[in-house]
């Protein structure tokens, strides 16, 4: 019975954390791509 409860708990934790993880990954990738484009833009600029 305890194993069954643990299984339910794990499922609940996954459901709770997954959206946050996805959001964080999305945010991070957006920041990185922005940073990359900014860097390339700065490098292209004549000094």
Per-domain boundaries in the chain = 1-47
Residue 47 has pLDDT above 60, yes or no: no
List CB contacts of 46: < 8 A, sequence separation 6 or more: none
Q: What is the pLDDT of residues 5-43, one digit of tens each?
A: 777 778 877 778 888 888 999 999 998 888 788 777 777
Minimal CA–CA distance to 5: which of 13, 32, 21? 13
- pTM greater than 0.95 (yes/no): no
């Amino acid at each position: 019975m305890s194993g069954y409860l643990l299984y339910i708990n794990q499922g609940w934790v996954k459901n709770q954390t997954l959206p946050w993880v996805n959001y964080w990954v999305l945010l991070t990738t957006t920041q990185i791509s922005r940073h990359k484009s900014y860097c390339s833009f700065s490098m292209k600029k004549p000094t």
